[in-house]
Amino acid sequence: MSLTDFQRGIKPALTPLTSNVLSKKHPTFEEVVSDCYDDVYRFALSLTGKECDAVDLTQSAFLKFAKKGSALRDVKKAKHWLFSVLRNEFIDICRKNTRFPSEELDPGMQSEGQTAAAQSDGQAVLSCLAKLPLPFREALALYYLQGYTYQEISSLLKIPIGTVMSRLSRGKSQLRQQLKPSPYSHG
């Protein structure tokens, strides 16, 4: 699936958590990357809301996997481990950014292609998702974009299943509010 399909809001085909590569006893690093990269990248994009930050975060997660992945006892949990590492990296970056904020580029400097992509419904949803508080954004991205079950999200985020359900419900409610057309908008 191409990134443009994802940006348009076309739901990706969900891959099972243990694919053929991860069911091997000793898959190579390249096999793990090729099997997990798209899902890890989409999760990073749903957290950051920016392609460049998502790429950096994804590379950081795979770099850690390259260094420490051999210590993983059960290779079937590689994707789960990568998601946890990515989430922790994102939280660390958020903490650093609150201490040392950076300036944003002028939005008028976007290319025409980026402007056209931002007008699509899928991009609007992703944009609203990026504005949600982190706990809701994580739960929604893992459930709807990655296809994880409540139990898997509970395990990944180390929270009770009831909290997962609550975050999904509240997150959807906040997302609906953001996506509601303004009474002053035309269209």
What's the burial of 122, exposed, middle or buried (CB within 10 Å: 0-12/13-18/19+)?
A: middle
Cα→Cα distances 57→10, 40, 52, 63, 179, Å: 23, 9, 9, 10, 27
- Please check whether residue 175 is in contact with residue 125, taking contact to mean a CB–CB distance below 8 angstroms: yes
Please name the amino acid found at residue 187: G
* Alpha carbons within 13 A on the beta-carbon side of 94: 12
Topology of the domain covering 17-103: Rna Polymerase Sigma Factor; Chain: A (1.10.1740)
**What DSSP character marks residue 185?**
-
Distance CA 127, CA 76 (A): 32
Q: What whole-number distance in Å separates Cα of residue 117 and Cα of residue 112?
A: 9
Q: Would you state the structure tokens that stand for residue 13, as one six-digit string?
A: 């085909």
Q: With b meaning 16 or more CB within 10 Å and e meaning fewer, what string describes 39-51?
A: bbbbbbbbbbbee
What pLDDT sits at residue 127?
A: 82
In this prediction, residue 20 carries a pLDDT of 55
Reported CATH class of domain 121-180: mainly alpha
Q: Where are the domains of the chain?
A: 17-103, 121-180
Residue type, 67: K
pLDDT of residue 10: 37
pLDDT of residue 100: 57
Same fold, 17-103 and 121-180: no
Q: Report d(CA 91, CA 88) in Å as an integer.
A: 5
pLDDT tens for the 187 residues of the chain, in order: 344 444 444 333 334 434 455 666 677 888 888 888 999 999 999 888 889 899 999 999 999 988 887 777 777 788 888 999 999 888 888 887 766 555 554 555 555 555 454 456 677 788 888 889 999 999 998 998 888 899 999 999 999 999 999 999 999 999 889 888 766 655 5
